Amino acid sequence: DQQVKQNSPSLSVQEGRISILNCDYTNSMFDYFLWYKKYPAEGPTFLISISSIKDKNEDGRFTVFLNKSAKHLSLHIVPSQPGDSAVYFCAATGSARQLTFGSGTQLTVLP
């Protein structure tokens, strides 16, 4: 059973609009959450993270929101750019410091 779920395999957004990628988790012991971005033929690259003691972390156009009671996090990208088109992976970790990944969401930003 997947402990980290990304229920939308794909998302298309118009350039300049907001992209919202969602992630749900089931393990209440997770205390740190990360988003990775992956282009074709490249490995995943770290994008942004959030600790469970926070509910929001912002870095430029990227903001991650954490709702612990709902065991849900989301990544907001605004404004979206064509170069943001990639697969986005949500990951979570607990005290063991092993990353548990979701299956990814393919974001396509249309010019």
**Residue 23 near another protein by CB under 8 A:** no
Convert residues 51-90 into a mask of x (bound to another protein by CB under 8 A) and - (unbound). Answer: --------------------------------------x-
Return the range that interacts with another protein (CB under 8 A); candidates 19-27, 66-74, 78-86, 101-109: 101-109
Q: Which of 22, 74, 81, 100 binds another protein (CB under 8 A)?
A: 100
Q: CA-CA distance, 110 to 81, in Å (whole number)?
A: 8
Whose structure tokens read 């992956």?
A: 38
CB atoms within 10 A of CB 54: 13
> Among candidates 104, 63, 103, 76, which has minimal Cα distance to 17?
76
Decide: is 99 part of the binding site for another protein (CB under 8 A): yes
CB 68 within 8 A of CB 56: no
Shortest distance, CB of residue 38 to another protein, whole angstroms? 8
Is residue 104 near another protein by the rule CB under 8 A? yes
User: Residue 105 contacts by C-beta under 8 Å, 6 or more apart in sequence?
Assistant: 6, 8, 9, 10, 11, 21, 22, 87, 88
Does residue number 44 form part of the binding site for another protein (CB under 8 A)?
yes
- For binding to another protein (CB under 8 A), which residues are involved? 2, 4, 9, 32, 34, 36, 41-46, 49, 89, 93, 97-104
